[in-house]
Each structure stands twice: as structure tokens, then as C-alpha cells.
Amino acid sequence: MRVAAIIISTAITLVAVALVARTAASMVNVVRLGQPAIGRTDQPAQRWRTLVRETLGHSRLLKWRLVGAAHWFVFVGFGFLVFTLVTAYGQVYAGADWALPIIGHWWPYEAASEVIAFLTLVAILTLMVIRQVAHPRRLGRLSRFSGSTFWQAYYVELTIVAIAVCILLLRGLEGALVGTPGWGPHHLLSYPLAAAFSGMSAGALSTTILAVATVKIVVSMAWFLVIALNATMGVAWHRFTAFFNIWFKREAEGGTALGPLQPMHSRGEPIDFEDPGEEDIFGVGAVEEFTWKGLLDFTTCTECGRCQSRCPAWNTGKPLSPKLFVTGLRDHAYAKAPYLLTEESAREALPDTVRAEAERPFVGAVEGTGDAPGAVIDPDVLWSCTTCGACVEQCPVDIEHVDHIVDVRRHQVLVESEFPSELNQLFRGLENKGNPWNMNPSARLEWVSDLPFEVPLLGGDVDSLGEVEYLFWVGCAGAYDDRAKKTTRAVAELLHIAGVSFAVLGEAETCSGDPARRAGNEFVYQMLAQQNVETLKEAGATKAVVTCAHCFNTIKNEYRQLGLELEVVHHTQLLNRLVREGRLTPVAPAEGDSAAGADANGDGRSGQPITYHDPCYLGRHNQVYEPPRELLGALPGVEVREMPRSGKDSFCCGAGGARMWMEERIGTRVNLARTEEAVATGAERIATGCPFCKTMLSDGLTQKQAEGSAREEVEVIDVAQLLLESVRRGTLAPRPDVTEQDLTSN
């Protein structure tokens, strides 16, 4: 029997190792097909620290406590229990009593191997139960596993179960063979098994150990054979590729790929938009035009569906699933790779399936017609993205979904001129008038007309921004949108009351460029951004306060790519600081005032109920969560009620990624889904800190009120308006021309 076991173990091991080595090499070749990725090897020491924190420390996965803990034990077991595989080989080749040199009979090692094997078994069984509880057969498309390749997951799970069981059985058999007298550190958990096997003869025990050890080797090597034959089996390969994907992530210090978009490069070199080269690659129009980090991203996807479960598009019935977007590109990349890796003269000899894959359109109808193959990416998938970043924030292996989606959009806009027709008006307005609404620049200062004080203007009241503390960046919405103007006026008045010196640019201000960039029109973004950067540099700007979360992100993070260093604060941050410093004093509503809202809903809770919606580009993209909440908490007579999805888990309003200017024709409107959550809290006011969010939630609320599913007294309001309302209660001479309703109404 030993001869047969040796032959079987040797044969399957040699084949498995050879095939895995070949597949690993081919995977490296596929990843190397990508374009150069800039800035992925800086700060190596910090990258190693980040890798250790995210892998050994499981810092990203442990946000889901049960799943994170279970996965940690599976992760540790996969590495540590390799020693037990070596032991199994020794038992097959040298005898049943073989043990690792030096540590093989050291009780800490034996106890650790048993504990880890047992906890790995419990952990994988837990994950199997979780998969079944969240299975699409129960939850449909709301399951995060919807669209995942189930046989691969089941195979990996059952393999881990089999290996853990083999380890525990071997430990029990080994204990029976040496005659373990009772409980002890050498057989901490396996003693009951040892006792159960103690009636067997030494020969029978040796034969059984040989059989179980052989099974363990076969199961382990079969796993390697399967993954070697399935290079796109991310649920297995991520155990190796995740280390590289994390090490090469965008932010060496561990931050996610959120906030700024990456500048456009062609073959690793920055594109000169004033004089682009004829051979420059603009965005991604074929899978090989992604960077090698992008191809590594696709390779590493585990199909866990965390991204999908939080995607506002997927959750409202749109075809976009970040997971399926990535896995579709992965499958296409690996199917097309033989064509790309073959000399052009030899491509005709390739199989028809490979050549057909190479001929597939990259973006277009995914359903083929006649002889025409279907495209890789459906346009509805590409343009459903709000760039909220929930997918990136959720991904445990640091895949950079938003960057990849925007890169494809860039090619569609700049090269193919294929994009939703509504964006034509957006682009025209940005190019011709410097704002998305195509309004006259001369109207940028109309919001100041009813303020009781002069708003300093650069070039008029002040010659340089060095004369004031802050540039007040108004933004296009704050200047042109009637609802956003209320926020702009409220911030200006609060700064005036607090004695903060500021000035505005007026007509010298133009759109920050965020909508153009997220829509893929990098040319227009560069035009607007360069103009603004030049203006701000010439004006001597050092600090700016911004009310729009999108402008905040762009000016704070992306203008730095153009050489502008500027301290940028969101208005909720600055106003919260002014309240803490005592420069603004919120005052409680008078008794009997409707704003007091005492027990407004008859539920025993006092204070006017308010819920806060986190703007994606303030919260998730820039980690500003507490200042708005702290500010709301400082308002007397207010009770803040959180929505189920809030803070880091907040749900998008639907406006980002230039979706503000696109029709939403598929599924439920994202803003309606978010409005329903807000209304369900029983709040009388839905507070936010972004004009885009205010518009989307206001529109959603109006529809819900028309349907009768929201109370008429509910309103959407900016945090600044709430603060001004409270502060004005303490003024001795309130303005007779502005009522409280004026300050807070939509």
C-alpha cells in the first residue's frame, strides 16, 4: 500500500506543481500586457506595513466582525497548516511515526496546529452557512453572491473542510499510535479521537495514517490542479495575488483609491492636453489599455460581492454590478491574452474562440447579432455609475473600480464620442459659459443681492486674497441654483456674524470641472481646472471654504495635480469650528415654537427630529463624517436620527459621476431610494452638506409627498441653514425682510 501511496502522491504533486507554475507564469504575462502604472512602488517601507496590517491584521475585513474573524482563521490556517502537509508527505514516504524535525513533537507546535485546524474548520463552516443564508435563491439580485461562480466557491470551501478534518484525524491517529495516556498539551483537542482509535492495532493505525495522509496530499494537490486549470478562479487565486494587489495599491499608507481621480497617462507618460501626441492612448478602449495594476485588480477579485451589495446602481435595478464589471473584464483579458501574446504573423493559427474574443467590441450591445459578437461592456453598465466609491471602500483586496470605469468613459467621450445625449448640454455649458447650466457668467453674483452686508469681491473690494482669511468658493450650484443659493447666503451670513474675513471671485470663478472629469471629458476638465488654478495662484489664495462636496474634492485633491497647494475646508468643518470656538452661538427655539418639535411624533423623544445624509464626495471620498454631525448635535432643540445606511456605509443620492445631468430610465431612481430611507426615520428635516444632494433629495421628497408617502412638513435643508436659523434666534435685531421660513425652505 505504501508503494501505491508514494506513487500517487508523487505523481499528483509533480503534475500539480508544474501546472501551477505554468499558470502563474502565464498570469504574470497577462498582467504585464497592461500599460505602465505610475506611483505604485513609492514608500516601500510603508507599503510593507500596509500589507501586514491588511493581511495579517485583516484591518479591512474585520469591519464585518463575524465574516472577518472567520476569514482570518481560514487565512491563518491556509498558511500555518502547510507544515501539516509536509508532515503528511513524511508519513507517506518515511512512515506513520514521522514528524517534523525539532518542532514536530514540541507541544506548543502540536497544540497550535490542532487549535488552528479546529478553528479553521469552524470558520469555513461558518462562511458556508453565511453563503447559504445570503444565497441568491433566497435574496435574488440583492444577494451579494448574485452572479458569482458558485461551483468554485463550493470547491474551495469543501477542500478546506476536507483538509481540516484530515489534520484532526491524523492527530487523533498519531495520539493512538504513541499511546497518549490522557488529556495534555500534546493532544489538546485530538485526545477524544485518540481515545476512540486506541483499540486499533499498531499496524492498523499505521495503515490508516498512511491512507489519511495520502488523502490529505491528494486533496491539497487536486486543489492546485483545479486552480492551475482555471486562471480566472479568483476565489482561489486571490490567496496569492491579494498580497501583490495590496502592496501596489494607490495609497502607500493604506487609504483607498478614492478622492482624486488619477491624471491621464499614455504608455506611462502624462498626456499634454495642449499638444497631445498622435499615438497617445486616451482612456481605455481595449482591455490591454488598462494599466498592469488594473489587470492585477481583475485577477484578484474574489467574487465576494461586497462592492455589489453597496452599489446604488445595482441596488436600484440598474445593470451595473462592480463585481460583474470586474469579473467580465478579467474573463475577457484572459481569453484575449493568447491573441495579444502571439506575434501578429502567427495569429491566424490561433483557435477560432481566441480570435473571436479579440474581435469583440469593447463597449456596446452585449448581445451579439448574427456573426457579430457581443461587446464586453454594456453602455448602460458604464454610465450607471455615480462614482460614489462604495465599491472601492468595501473591497477587501483594494480593487480600484471607479478609476477603471472612468478610464473607459474617457475613451468613449474623447475618442469614440459615444456618451448619453444629455451630456451634450453639460459639455456645451462648461465649454462656453463655464457652468453646467449654460448660464451667463454675469449672473454668478446675483445671490448677494438680498444680503444686508457687502460681500467682498476680488478685484473690487480686495486686490488680493492675502487680504482676507478665506476665499469663499461659491461653486456653480451655489451661484445659479435657487435651492443652493440659500446655502450660499447662509454660509456668507454666518461667516459675517462670526467675524471671518472672506472674499469671492465672482465672474472670475468657473466650474471646478468635476462633472466633466467624472463624465470622462478630461479635455474640458483640464481647460476649466487650469483656468481656475491660474486664477487662484494669481489671486494669492491660501485657504478656501467650499459648500459643494464635489468642488471640495476637486479643489482639495485634484488641483494639487496641477501644482496648486491650497488649504481647503468644507463649510460644515469651518462652521463647526466656529461654534466650538464660541464665535457662533446656536440658541434654542422659544417654548411653543414649532421648531422646538417637542415629542413631535408622539414617540416620547424630545427635540425636532433631523436626519443627516452623508454626501459621498464629503464622506466616503474625503472621510469628513463627524463635523456635520457634531454641528447638528450642537443645535439646541434638535434630535439627530441616523438612517440605517449612514457614515461610512451611507447610500448615494444619485448625482455623482455627472449623473446629475443624465436621465435615469432603468430601475428605481437612486434619489427616491435614499429619500425613502430618510423619510422612514420620522425626521421633519433631511439635512445635508452638498447642493447636489440637496437637489436630488428635494426632488425625491417632492415626488414622495405627491404620492402621499411623505408628510408635507418634511423638508430638505443644508446644515448651514439650520445653524443660521439657530444663531439668528440670539440676535437682538433680526432682519425684518427675512423670516425663519425663508432661511429654511427649499
- Residue 569 backbone phi and psi in degrees, to 5: -125, 145
Q: Which of 516, 513, 517, 551 is nearest to 529 (CA)?
A: 513
Give Cβ neighbours of residue 534 (< 8 Å, ≥ 6 apart).
none
**CA gap 425, 684 in Å, rounded:** 36
- Residue 338 backbone phi and psi in degrees, to 5: -60, -35
pLDDT digits (tens, 9 = 90+) for 470-480: 999 999 999 99
* pTM given for the model: 0.93
Query: Which pLDDT score is estimated for 744?
Result: 45
CA dihedral of residues 576, 577, 583, 589 (deg, nearest 10): 20
Grid-cell match 432603468, residue found? 666
To which H or E segment does residue 543 belong?
A: strand 543-546
**CA gap 32, 317 in Å, rounded:** 36
Cβ(476)–Cβ(430) under 8 Å? no
Query: Which pLDDT score is estimated for 581?
Result: 96
> Over 224-238, what HEC string results?
HHHHHCCCCCHHHHH
Query: Which pLDDT score is estimated for 372?
Result: 74
pLDDT digits (tens, 9 = 90+) for 263-275: 999 999 999 998 9
Query: Which pLDDT score is estimated for 181?
Result: 76
Q: Which three-class secondary structure state does DSSP give residue 66? A: helix
**CA gap 632, 686 in Å, rounded:** 12
Give DSSP secondary structure letters for 146-179.
TTS-HHHHHHHHHHHHHHHHHHHHHHHHHHHHHT
Between the alpha carbon of residue 577 and those of residues 104, 293, 478, 495, 621, the distances in Å are: 61, 40, 22, 12, 21
The angle formed by the CA atoms of residues 149, 152 and 154, to the nearest 5 degrees, is 105
* Residue 59, CB-side half-sphere exposure with 13 Å CA sphere: 13
- Residue-level length of the chain: 746
Cβ(699)–Cβ(715) under 8 Å? no
Query: Which pLDDT score is estimated for 450?
Result: 86
Cell numbers that stand for 440 in this block: 451667463
**pLDDT less than 50: residues of the chain:** 597-605, 732-746
Q: Which three-class secondary structure state does DSSP give residue 464? A: coil
C-beta contacts of 218-222 below 8 A and 24+ residues apart: 218/8, 218/9, 218/12, 219/159, 219/162, 219/163, 219/166, 220/85, 220/159, 220/163, 221/9, 221/12, 221/13, 221/15, 221/16, 222/12, 222/16, 222/159
The strand pairing partners of 270, in sequence order, are: 265
**CA gap 170, 87 in Å, rounded:** 10
The strand pairing partners of 715, in sequence order, are: 685
**CA gap 560, 261 in Å, rounded:** 12
Give Cβ neighbours of residue 402 (< 8 Å, ≥ 6 apart).
257, 258, 261, 385, 387, 389, 391, 392
The strand pairing partners of 457, in sequence order, are: 504
**CA gap 496, 490 in Å, rounded:** 10
